[in-house]
Amino acid sequence: MLNTPKPSIQMVGNAHLDPAWMWCWGEGMEAFLSTCRAALQRMEETPEFVFTCSSAAHYRWVEQVEPELFRQIQQRVAQGRWAIVGGWWTQADCNLPSAEGFLRQALLGQRYFLQSFGRIARVGYSPDAFGHTLGLPQLLARSGMPSYIFCRPDPTELPLPSPIIRWHSPDGSNVLAYRVPFHYNMYESSVPKKIADLAEAFHRPSNLSNPAQPLRNVGDVWCLFYGVGNHGGGPTKEHIRQIIEASSNSQFSAVEFSNPERFFATIRNGEDPRQPLPSWHDDLQLNAPGCYSAHSEIKRLNRQSEHLLLQAERLSALAALRVGAGYPATEFRRAWENVCFNHFHDILCGVAIREALQEAMETYGQALNTARQATRYAIQRIARKVATSGGEGTALLVFNSHSWAVRHGVTFELWHDIDKSLWTQPIHLRVTDGAGCDLPCQIGFTSGKIGKDRVAVTFLADVPAFGWRQYRVIYGQESPHADHRGASIQQREDWLQVENAQLRVCFSLRDGCITELLHKQSGICLLHGGGAAGLVIDDPTDTWGHGATAFDEVIGRFGNAEVRVVQNGPTHITIRSRTWFGASWIQQDFKLYHHSDYLEVAVKLFWGEQNKMLKLAFPTGLSAPRSVAESAGVATWKPADGTERPCGTWFAASGTTAGTTNRQPATLGIATDAKHSFSLTPDGDLRMTVLRSPAYALHTPHPFHPDEDLDYLDQGVQRFHYTLHPVADAAPMELLAKAGMLLNAPLIPHLESAHEGSIPEADPNGGIIISATNVAATVLKRSEESDGENGGKNDEKNDGENEAENGEENNGERGGWIVRLHELSGKHTTAQLHFPLLGIEWTATLAPHQLSTWRLRGGTATEVNAIEMSEEEDRKLSEG
């Protein structure tokens, strides 16, 4: 493939540093500072030596703690002696973050590198991550990184046609990806041994299942990594001496100090177009699959933080554009820095020590506080400009932060002082729309128990994209729909059935499971007994799940069911199922809205087991099933082989089943707000992995003392939600993608006092119009250029000072606004877009699952990359 006459080796000196793992981040910071000093000293001793280092967050530690050390690093970067790689805020896990989470990694990391060093990283760098989503080539390429370094999975876990591949995402983006042979650290190795192993590999027959045989028919330029790592350290004097000695090795044309960017340039320059490098169109899995379900709370907080920050940005942008409110860019940046730091693979995967994970949860709390504050300030600032004094009762504004119109149930709580003598009387209440028409509404359970002064109400809201709609809540008047029931109930000795116009759901009273989930229009039935059953799985592996590919040994089932109707009214019916296994229990509230073709489920559970796993099973009965799951913005299809797989906000089983007239395509999709792992058995049993309970940070085969007081993961109570979608379609990706986004960022109700206002009660078209339903605008934020060169130090604060009544002062016009589009269904699509708040219309053409970023400024929309650079700006940066 490459036209060099004799193999050569480029040696990359690195110091892998886990900022938090078996230690907390404070210790990681000190280790990084020490590593930087050592690397600079090696440069003084050896003029040829080159050092490679990633992670913008770590560099900022140096900048803030030792400015003089930072200036020395800047000088070495300018000389080409210190190579910046990675382009991310930290070395994130490469399966669990959302697509936007990865892009914020790059936005923070690349812009920090550009500001601090005058350049961006051109090589993605994840040597320690456990697996790599199929979405990464797109995310890397659109962030200025056409090359990628990885190490896991190793050749025994994933045979590849070559250690260097051209890796493709579904949108057509690709990167040159290299699997580092013989590890990136020096575990039980040395520089001479690594070089000898490489030389030996050239003379053996190809055998990609042998870890000593990772190189086969790739070419003649190789890259080996060296340096002490995990707790930092880097190349030693002995490593450097050994490389200099090896340069005279007659088996190689050269053994030289190098860096990843130089290595990839050599590969590109030497590639023979008649024999292109092998292409790879799948993800890179599977190593340590237990990571994707270890420590439920870390994963829930990350999912919540990512989605609520995006929601807060969108609403803050709308408030700025609608009413001239300040945009809290500095607060958002700090929140994303916290979230992105916690993307670090040992943190987000839940395999760090308990103390490090506790610190991570605290920083997630800071991010969530920022999101909630910004959301509430934005909503309040819009609401105060909306006319709310007309009509009966109290104004209720419902906000939709998504780019499509949403029709969905909304629950809010209302305070209304009543005389205690009336507490025994029924509560009467009406909800009306803007035309004064009564809507079905249902009284439910309040969070606090203080009597009938506090009322919980559910109704069906219909809200435009990026907009709001006003409703009226009238207390003390009976709704004309009070006695209406949109769903029917039947009950016999051993089953209970609920049904609306779309679905029929049957529950077993003996085991609390779903025995039938029928999509009435198509006649397809997904779930044939045992649906949503709690399975107890044996899990003898360590915290990572090392050595496992599947978790499928069922050793128990939850049973002794209690099933009953807990709510039944004009808007929905809720069936509660509670089951037990020993001292552990699962409570599932199955909510069926009278209009819906899906089932909402609220889960509350108590877990008291150790070294076991909990899964919820959904036996679909599908023929020829395959799984499909969202991961970093793309849909990944896999065989039904029981393998444990990571996922994003949704996953599904797709195949064929009996319909109204004949066999037809069918899918059972599941969207979740907290879970990230699933499996699909060959017989079509779709299983959501709820939790695992190994000990914290327990790495086999390392022993522990029998007197140690081990803490175990996921003990006690936890809550999460999921939705079940039976669909007569082989690939309902748009539907499931929107279900996942809405579940994680729902409609927001806001009760507002009566006052005059200058903006409409509701915009019938909302804040954005997109002609293609399979295209969503997932991001609406202020451009980074709007923050100037001061890192956002002068951003508007949430105190609302200097608000512009007409919106001109805070409309972000200097740098404009950023809209990110996402194609959801895996189809080539051309969409017409209209953003009326800025009077801009444009056309966007997207490839399957493409993420396309646009800057709106000066009356036009210009496509930019994910780090908000135009193609021309990126080209000029590359040239010098």
Whole-number pLDDT of residue 555: 98
- For 436, counting Cβ atoms within 10 Å of its Cβ (0-12 exposed, 13-18 middle, 19+ buried), the class is exposed
275 and 298 share a domain? no
For residue 344, the domain's CATH number is 1.20.1270.50
803: confidence class by pLDDT, cuts 50, 70, 90: very low
Whole-number pLDDT of residue 423: 67
Residues 6+ apart with CB under 8 A from 114: 120, 877
Whole-number pLDDT of residue 798: 44
Residues 6+ apart with CB under 8 A from 302: 96, 97, 101, 339, 342, 343, 348, 364
Tokens representing residue 583 in the block: 């001292």
Assess contact for 613 and 597: CB atoms under 8 A: no
Whole-number pLDDT of residue 659: 64
For residue 593, the domain's CATH number is 2.70.98.30
127 and 251 share a domain? yes
- Listed residue (677, 707, 355) closest to 544, CA to CA: 677
Question: What is the C-alpha separation between 586 and 718, in angstroms, rounded?
Answer: 10
Assess contact for 168 and 279: CB atoms under 8 A: yes
Q: Do strands 748-752 and 394-400 pair parallel, antiparallel, or not at all (unpaired)?
A: antiparallel
Residues 6+ apart with CB under 8 A from 518: 503, 504, 505, 524, 525, 726
> Would you say residue 300 has pLDDT above 90?
yes
Tokens representing residue 397 in the block: 């504004």
**374 vs 481, higher pLDDT:** 374
Residues 6+ apart with CB under 8 A from 64: none
- For 536, counting Cβ atoms within 10 Å of its Cβ (0-12 exposed, 13-18 middle, 19+ buried), the class is buried
237 and 296 share a domain? no
Within-domain flag for 462: no
| DSSP secondary structure of 281-298 | -S-B--S-GGGGTS-HHH
Residue range(s) defining the domain that contains residue 150: 10-287
> Would you say residue 611 has pLDDT above 70?
yes
* Three-state secondary structure of 165-188: EEEECCCCCEEEEEECCCCCCCCC
Question: What is the C-alpha separation between 403 and 770, in angstroms, rounded?
Answer: 8
- Listed residue (616, 588, 614) closest to 602, CA to CA: 588
371 and 263 share a domain? no
Whole-number pLDDT of residue 400: 98
Residues 6+ apart with CB under 8 A from 129: 91, 92, 93, 94, 95, 150, 152, 345
Within-domain flag for 586: yes
> Would you say residue 465 has pLDDT above 60?
yes
193 and 306 share a domain? no
Q: Do strands 584-593 and 572-581 pair parallel, antiparallel, or not at all (unpaired)?
A: antiparallel
**461 vs 202, higher pLDDT:** 461
Assess contact for 738 and 405: CB atoms under 8 A: no
Please give the backbone phi and psi of residue 146, each rounded to the nearest 5 degrees, phi first: -85, 0
Tokens representing residue 626 in the block: 């395959």
Query: Number of structural domains, the chain?
Result: 3
244 and 350 share a domain? no
| DSSP secondary structure of 594-609 | TT-SSEEEEEEEEE--
Task: Among 318-332, 433-447, 649-663, 728-742, name the one with the lowest average pLDDT.
Answer: 649-663
Question: What is the C-alpha separation between 840 and 851, in angstroms, rounded?
Answer: 20
Q: What is the pLDDT of residues 163-213, one digit of tens each?
A: 999 999 999 999 999 999 998 888 777 899 999 888 887 766 443 334 444
Whole-number pLDDT of residue 395: 96
For residue 195, the domain's CATH number is 3.20.110.10
> Would you say residue 786 has pLDDT above 80?
no
Q: What share of the chain in percent tops pLDDT 90?
A: 79
Whole-number pLDDT of residue 819: 98
**878 vs 294, higher pLDDT:** 294
Out of 247, 268, 287, a domain closes at 287
**Mean pLDDT, residues 574-585 taken together:** 98
Out of 236, 270, 287, a domain closes at 287
Question: What is the C-alpha separation between 421 and 242, in angstroms, rounded?
Answer: 89
> Would you say residue 123 has pLDDT above 50?
yes
Assess contact for 442 and 457: CB atoms under 8 A: yes
Question: What is the C-alpha separation between 715 and 595, in angstroms, rounded?
Answer: 37
Within-domain flag for 418: no
Q: Do strands 174-179 and 147-150 pair parallel, antiparallel, or not at all (unpaired)?
A: parallel
Q: What is the pLDDT of residues 718-737, one digit of tens each?
A: 999 999 999 999 989 999 99
Q: What is the pLDDT of residues 65-117, one digit of tens each?
A: 999 999 999 999 999 999 999 999 999 999 999 999 999 999 999 999 999 99
Distances in whole angstroms, Cα of residue 161 to Cα of each of 158, 172, 179, 215, 218: 10, 20, 11, 9, 9
**Mean pLDDT, residues 581-586 taken together:** 98
33: confidence class by pLDDT, cuts 50, 70, 90: very high
Strands, E assignment, 707-794: 716-727, 748-752, 769-770, 775-782
Three-state DSSP class for 878? Answer: helix
- State the residue for tokens 């709690």: 534
Tokens representing residue 823 in the block: 């194609």
Please give the backbone phi and psi of residue 159, each rounded to the nearest 5 degrees, phi first: -65, 130
Assess contact for 784 and 107: CB atoms under 8 A: yes
Within-domain flag for 390: no
Assess contact for 818 and 834: CB atoms under 8 A: no
Sign of the dihedral defined by the CA atoms of residues 485, 486, 492, 495, in that order: negative
> Would you say residue 655 has pLDDT above 80?
yes
Within-domain flag for 396: no
Whole-number pLDDT of residue 211: 46
**Mean pLDDT, residues 38-42 taken together:** 98
Q: What is the mean pLDDT of the chain?
A: 92
Which amino acid is it at 738?
K
421: confidence class by pLDDT, cuts 50, 70, 90: low
Strands, E assignment, 501-541: 503-508, 514-519, 524-525, 533-538
133 and 279 share a domain? yes
Within-domain flag for 856: no
247: confidence class by pLDDT, cuts 50, 70, 90: confident
- Listed residue (143, 124, 136) closest to 85, CA to CA: 124
Task: Among 234-238, 377-381, 392-396, 445-449, name the one with the lowest average pLDDT.
Answer: 445-449
Question: What is the C-alpha separation between 173 and 677, in angstroms, rounded?
Answer: 26
509 and 562 share a domain? yes
Whole-number pLDDT of residue 214: 42
Distances in whole angstroms, Cα of residue 379 to Cα of each of 49, 195, 316, 401, 795: 55, 62, 8, 11, 19
Three-state DSSP class for 14? Answer: strand
Q: Do strands 599-607 and 716-727 pair parallel, antiparallel, or not at all (unpaired)?
A: antiparallel
| DSSP secondary structure of 22-61 | SS-HHHHHHHHHHHHHHHHHHHHH-TT--EEE--HHHHHH
The winner for highest mean pLDDT among 194-208, 222-236, 458-472 is: 458-472
- Listed residue (762, 799, 794, 670) closest to 723, CA to CA: 670
Question: What is the C-alpha separation between 676 and 691, in angstroms, rounded?
Answer: 10
Out of 713, 744, 775, a domain closes at 744
Assess contact for 508 and 659: CB atoms under 8 A: no
Within-domain flag for 655: yes
Question: What is the C-alpha separation between 338 and 226, in angstroms, rounded?
Answer: 30
Residues 6+ apart with CB under 8 A from 647: 292, 629, 630, 631, 676, 677, 678
Q: CA angle at residue 52 from 47 to 53, to 5 degrees?
A: 135
In a 13 Å sphere around the CA of 616, the CA atoms on its Cβ side amount to 27
Q: What share of the chain in percent tops pLDDT 70?
A: 93
Which amino acid is it at 752?
E
**632 vs 815, higher pLDDT:** 632
- Listed residue (717, 715, 719) closest to 695, CA to CA: 715
Within-domain flag for 1: no
550 and 689 share a domain? yes
- Listed residue (424, 476, 403, 439) closest to 594, CA to CA: 439
220 and 254 share a domain? yes
Residue 470's CB is within 10 A of a number of other CB atoms, namely 22
Q: Which letter does DSSP use for residue 786 in this model?
A: G
Sign of the dihedral defined by the CA atoms of residues 741, 599, 630, 368, in that order: positive
274 and 315 share a domain? no
Q: CA angle at residue 522 from 508 to 772, to 5 degrees?
A: 120
Q: CA angle at residue 151 from 150 to 156, to 5 degrees?
A: 135
261 and 331 share a domain? no
